[in-house]
Structure 1
Amino acid sequence: MKPAFLRPLLLAALPLALAACTSVGNQKTPVPDVAYTVPPAAERAEAARVQALRAQPDWTFQGRVAVSKGKNGGSGRIDWSQQGADYQVQLSAPVTRQSWRLQGNTLQGGGRLEGLDGGPREGADAAQVVQDATGWEIPVNQLPDWTRGLVLQGTDENGLQRDAEGRPRRLQQAGWVVEYLDWHAGEGDQQVLPRRIEATNGDAKVKLVIDQWGTPGP
């Protein structure tokens, strides 16, 4: 049974999740195909993209997220701010006006979840803190790389399939399958970055639509 503070959120989240899935399904941009041969120019462009993103440790994004685990799920707005290994995630459900904030560090792995009845919760594993509090399985320590279309550092690319532009199309890591369904075009100093991502691990699923990428303010 879910904690009492989650019941209004989950009840309101079901129509939101359905609306999110419908809007994603109606996107006009075709999903990229897996490419079994990537042109050398595309390989070089992707290597340059990865290098540039690795050199930019501070970034933000705003978007929408739908999370499900079996029959339980929720959705809402998500704001992610990353500064080096430190991250802060704000998730809000517009209908109920409920929100929570997760703070963590990808190198240390721990996290603190605020906005819950009964006070904050924290632990040595941020993903476990979220799962214990909400029942949702979210790979929070991997998302800083995956959301930018990067393979986890210190791992090989055996589980990676690319599209014709050399970008990740399907990635298998840490027990998850991550699908890249659409991308934001690079403009000026802004690199090409994902727009739509779906990650699954058994009956756990995370759908993410990133509306805007940016950099943290002063």
Structure 2
Amino acid sequence: MMFSIARPLLLLAAGLALSACTSVGTQKAPPPDVAYTVSPAAERAEAARVQALRAQPDWEFQGRVAVSKGRNGGSGRIDWSQQGDAYQVQLSAPVTRQSWRLHGDAGGGAGRLEGLEGGPREGGDAHVLLLDATGWDIPVNQLPDWTRGLVLEGSDESGLQRDVDGRPRRLQQAGWDVQYLEWYPAGEGRQALPRRIEASSGDARVRLVIDQWGAQSP
């Protein structure tokens, strides 16, 4: 059954785990209903940020994730490693000692999920594979772009709203509504990157707090 693995995670209080997180050195985004005019300088800075991130195909992050779908949900750690189009995601719930490793390809969408009772599973769509096996509805094929505050490569920006710095604050793509609530500012040798993201699609909701980014180049 779809939620046979995920049900124990209901005890982890997903909402409380992420809503209380704060960090020094981050920038909170404005409310999504506020309209901003982006200056030409901000537009140029954002274009440079996007170009720099697109030029860095190998990166990683560590953080926390909370998911819900209807009355079911859970939370835990997420460790993401990206190499070109290929990604590897480690999802773990320390309280229940459950852990899964998902291998996927953002270009083709196919995936392999390890850590399941009965052995690994493979499927033509990593998102569907993860959802069917664990009940965790996470748009993994789009996250390589969305987690870095990028519009899906090859897509237009019709569903994009920007903040005063030109960065995304709300993005509607692929059936998901993605909001950027907090950012790590740019610093020496690193680009501005999201810290706190919320995404929803129908009754599915994903809340992500990124504690650490790695493998960036200027």
Q: Does the CA-based 8 Å contact 1:185-1:191 persist in structure 2?
A: yes
Paired residue type of 1:99: S
1:145-156 superposed matches below 5 A: 145-156=145-156
Corresponding residue number in structure 1 for 2:185: 185
Output the amino acid matched with 1:12: L
What is the aligned-residue identity percentage? 70
TM-score by length of 2: 0.91
Instruction: State the number of aligned residues.
Output: 213
Is the 1:5–1:117 contact (alpha carbons within 8 Å) kept by the matching residues of 2?
no
Q: CA deviation at 1:82?
A: 0.1
Aligned mates of 2:36, 2:16 — CA distance in 1 = 34
The 1:198–1:158 alpha-carbon spacing in structure 2 relative to 1, beyond 3 Å, is: same
Alpha-carbon offset, residue 36 of structure 1: 3.1
Runs of 4+ aligned structure 1 residues displaced above 6 Å come to: 25-28
What amino acid maps onto 2:19 in structure 1?
T
What are the Cα deviations for residues 112-169 of structure 1, in whole angstroms up to 9, with x where unaligned?
Answer: 1111111111101000101111223211100000000000011100100000000001
Matched, 1:57 2:53: no
Tell me whether 194-203 or 88-97 shows the greater mean CA deviation.
88-97
Asked whether the 8 Å contact 2:18–2:209 carries over to 1, the reply is no
Q: In structure 1, what is the equivalent of residue 209 of structure 2?
A: 209
CA distance in 1, matches of 2:159, 2:143: 16
Superimposed CA distance per residue, residues 14-59 of structure 1 (whole angstroms, 9 cap, x where no aligned partner): x2x1322431489996432444310111100000000000000000
- For residues 34-113 of structure 1, the aligned pairs below 5 Å read 34-113=34-113
1:162 matched to which residue of 2?
Answer: 162
1:206 alignment partner AA = V
User: Would the aligned equivalents of 1:88 and 1:102 in 2 still touch at CA under 8 Å?
Assistant: yes
Structure 2 gaps, min length 5: none
Q: CA deviation at 1:215?
A: 1.4
Amino acid aligned to 1:91: L
Instruction: Find the aligned partners of 2:23 and 2:82 in 1 and give their Cα distance.
Output: 30
Aligned-partner SS, 2:44: helix
Matched residue SS, 2:20: helix
SS of the aligned residue for 1:92 comes to strand
Q: Which sections of structure 1, spanning at least 5 residues, go unmatched?
A: none
SS in structure 2 opposite 1:179? Answer: strand
Q: Of Structure 1 and Structure 2, which has the larger fraction of its residues in helix?
A: 1
Aligned partners of 2:167, 2:35: CA distance in 1, in Å? 10
User: Taking structure 1 as reference, are residues 22 and 169 closer, same or farther at Cα in structure 2, changes over 3 Å only?
Assistant: closer
Query: Which residue is equivalent to 1:12?
Result: 11
Q: CA RMSD in A?
A: 2.0
* Cα distance in 2, alignment partners of residues 109 and 128 from structure 1: 10
The equivalent of 2:171 in structure 1 is 171
